[in-house]
Chains A and B, each alone.
Chain A
Amino acid sequence: MTTSTSVAVAPGGDQPASAPRQTARRSPWLDFAARRFGGLVGTFAVLVVLSFLIVQLIPGDPAVALAGSDATTTEIELLRTRLGLDLPLWQQFLNFVTNLLQGDLGTSFQYNQPVATIIGNRLPFTAYIALVGIVVVLVVAIPLGMFIGVQTRGGRKRWLDTLFGAITGFLDSVPGYVMATIMVILFALGIGLLPLFPPAYSVRVGSAAFILPIAALVIGPICTISRVVRRETGVVLENDYIRTARGWRLSTVVLYLKYALPNLLTTTLTLSGLILSGMLGGALIIESVFALPGLGTGIIKAILDRDFPVIQGMVLVLGMIAALVNLLVDILLGLIDSRTLGAQHD
């Protein structure tokens, strides 16, 4: 994570830096695409194994656990044959993978419905609040952090620095689901403020129901990332190339937006990539507060119901979404600074 900034330390002599030269003929994007596609396939393979193992790792006999405590021996054996749990492990895995590649995620124990349909119904809710949340976080946190960083550079306006640190530090330590509760109290029940938004999702209220969940989701990450941006702004502004740009007597706007921002974004996105993909986890929990019928409430209900086909399918889908969010962050990074395309993730 942090070491990736040391990618291009140039040698002192007249020898050109060797690494970028070798790939200079080919577009770095091509290598990047090939490598990341390989990475996605790898992640998918790991997720397949992981979701397959969920049933296998259940302590004791999975068939006994799945059938429930009051099942008879015949019921257990029936279930065992139906799920193929009596087959050798490799054959079970092969069946699992074959079905998966045919787009068959199995059938829910609970609803007797294809898992793919259940996921298809729930996915839009989670994807919507997580993706809109990520965009909101970036759009708010980066200008905010940069503004504070520029204002407080070199120890100016210490009061602003302290105030900013205290407010973001406090809000940062409020978990998303507690923030959601507070949002409901303030804006849905209208205690102290107006009841502007519905407290829970229903088809009738439509898109207004998404405002409070997204707000609850983004406040914590905004605080974390704007703190990172503030600190990075301070670091970037102390760099030699900023002095060079000052030496060229450029205007403040050009200096900050053209010379500081791109360098700021590289470190910021590298550091906050994890926070952004972690927002997916936050979204899963926050759905519960607002009764949103997304993947979060879905997987939690499935775990409580021990509805394993649904759990397996959702782990697979959520894992792939997380991998795609990471990829998206890296593509953004590459657009800003092509050096990061060649960077290994270590």
Chain B
Amino acid sequence: MTKNPVRRFNWTPGLIVGIVLLGAMALVGIIAPFLLSDSANALGDRSLPPSAEHLLGTDQSGHDMFARSLVATRLTLMMTLGATAIAVLIGIVIGTSVWLLPRRGREISLRVIDTMVAFPGLLLALVVAAILGAGAIPAVIAIGFAGIPTFARLTANLAAQVSQREYVSTARLLGVGDRRIVTDHMLPNMAEPLFVLAASNFAQSLTAISALSFVGLGVQSPQYDYGKLLNEALPSLLAGRPEQTVGPAVLIVITGLAAMLLGDGLAAAADPRAGRRTASLGIRRSATGAAASSASVSGDAMVVVDNLVISTTAGKPLVKGISFHINRGEIVGIVGESGSGKSLTAMSVARLLPEGLDATANSMGLDNLDLLGRVDPKVLAQTLSLIYQDPGSTFNPALKMGTQLTEVLRTHRGQSRSVARKTILEALRRVRMTLPEKRMGQHPHELSGGMRQRAMIAAAMATSPSLIIADEPTTALDVTVQAEILREIKRLNRDFSTAVMFISHDIGVVKALCDRVLVMNGGEIVEEIDAKLLTVENATHPYTKALLAATPSVTERLAELPVLDWRTAAAEQAATAKEEEVAR
């Protein structure tokens, strides 16, 4: 919070190569016509093979191909720039002004632009070429026009994003005129992505203009660009002398590549996610824990975790050596604020840690499974079920609910489609899903969030697992649905004595549901307490007290909620403890 998040510009090798290459081509375009025009236009012996005098040989009129290729750079680049300018400028004007139209007009305009975008650009260019005839200027206009719809569409997309930002609506409310909104508020914020798009448009225009010249619709003799040179080289290519094509072909590729590298490089440089990735290694057994691993599994414990450490591969610790157990049939709540490591802890028990994390533990056991060793997926899938936080994204949008819900039963229990279907239907009825048969045939997006979460619970209980991990299962739901989902989980626990690991940041919910509570903060378990004893008076750690004190209850008025500075209290408590220790 102290430092402004300055986005670092990401100089990728591709971007540097792109800039250097494009700069070099621009330089060639400026200089070559001055130095080489004479030798490019001088007539010598015809169709010579490459030699020291003519590096790329001569064409069928006796021109030196090396000089001609370099001289052609200027006209090619100028035409490409012209076409890009037409596409970009008109595209921006159309793309932004569409956004100022009333809603109905905007929708119609966008639909028209979409239809044009779907029309191949080259065909549009051919139409323009047909009207204006063959030639350099018509080719520039044709390719420029062909590029307008795409650029207008992309600008409109950007404008849509920008116009929804707060400063634009604020400006609107303040009565700033439409044109000022576009020039002062929208365009500056779109400049960066527009530049990236312009670079890629340049690359496409280069290819397209050269294509028109190549088929004879662009530059006409005696002028020549890359495409025209390639066109002139075609007869000799088919006659078995490919040398003549080398110059223009190589230069088209280099220039196109440079523009593409520049565009991609700029896009990557502007992407804050770039260069962030690291590999994950899974959970390893820590060196010290190897001997003690089996000793700690004792009595009624169903889950045993001993000294679990999770850190990013860069070394930043996220979970700092926690140990806990969950007994059979017990509901254990883990509370803490976001980032306290509670979800990571749960996901490491489920062996579903995200990529880019490094985890070690002395021992980790679930039922009879050693979670640090090889685990049979068949056994694990039936021992452990999961209920996730956001029911909106946990189901695959492309598959029907029935297919997904019966997946575990069919894959791991070898049940037939119809048997699995019956099991799931029964489970759906148990969680009081309305019209369960119909739901099986629907896609996830046709169900509400509460119904999806119920379906998830039904799937979770269908395998009669020994442990259910529920990672904030009600956070995304509204309060009435939340209560029903919690009741479902409680019933499951009571009827089948399934152990539940319940993750939440809501201490009130945890208190009502769980037998025992682990309070996590900063990657550590700061307190373990019986849920019945979870009150400000009984809690020992200041963070727990703060958490409890900040939980509103109906008997309290909102103004009376204390804002407790628990960190100072924790420091004081630690200091006292140290003093006592010293005194002893």
Contacts and interface: CB of A to CB of B under 8 A. Distances in A.
Contact of A303 (B129, B476, B478, B481): B129
B118 to A, nearest CB: 5
Contact of B260 (A173, A191, A339): A173
Interface of B: 14, 107, 110-111, 114-115, 117-123, 126-127, 129-134, 150, 153, 157, 160, 203, 207, 210-211, 214-217, 230, 234, 237-238, 240, 242, 245, 249, 252-253, 256-257, 260-261, 264, 277-280, 350, 352, 355-356, 377-378, 380-381, 385-386, 388, 390-399, 404, 407-408, 411-412, 443-452, 476-478, 480-481
Interface stretch (A76-84, A86-94, A110-118, A270-278): A270-278
Contact of B398 (A156, A262, A323): A262
14 contacts: A3-B157, A10-B447, A24-B446, A42-B115, A173-B260, A185-B242, A244-B404, A249-B378, A273-B118, A300-B216, A315-B123, A322-B118, A323-B119, A337-B397
A16 B450 CA distance: 9
A222 B138 CA distance: 31
Given A280-B123, A304-B217, A322-B123, A249 B449 contact: no
B352 A12 contact: no
B253 A178 contact: yes
Those 3 A-B pairs whose CB atoms lie nearest each other, nearest first = A281-B122, A154-B355, A155-B277
A141 to B, nearest CB: 18
B428 to A, nearest CB: 16
A68 interface: no
B277 A1 contact: no
Contacts of B394: 240-241, 243-244
Given A169-B257, A169-B264, A277-B120, 6 more contacts: A10-B447, A175-B253, A240-B388, A248-B412, A284-B122, A303-B126
A263 B397 CA distance: 8
A106 interface: no
B5 to A, nearest CB: 23
Contacts of A153: 355
Contacts of A299: 126
B120 A278 contact: yes
A225 interface: no
B49 to A, nearest CB: 13
Nearest to A234: B277
Contact of A185 (B215, B245, B390): B245
Could you say which of A46, A189, A248, A337 has the most chain B C-beta atoms within 10 Å of its C-beta? Answer: A248
Nearest to A186: B242
Contact of A172 (B121, B260, B447, B450): B260
Given A54-B131, A189-B242, A274-B117, A10 B377 contact: no
B397 A339 contact: yes
Contacts of B130: 54, 302-303, 308, 311, 315
B253 to A, nearest CB: 5
B114 A263 contact: no
Interface string A302-346: 111010100100010011001100100000000011110000011
B350 A247 contact: yes
A279 B411 CA distance: 42
Contacts of B377: 249-251
A206 interface: no
Contacts of B110: 346
Nearest to B477: A12
B127 A263 contact: no
Given A173-B256, A281-B121, A319-B119, A12 B238 contact: no
Interface in A8-34: 8-17, 20-21, 24
Contact of A243 (B119, B240, B253, B352): B352
A100 interface: no
B234 A339 contact: no
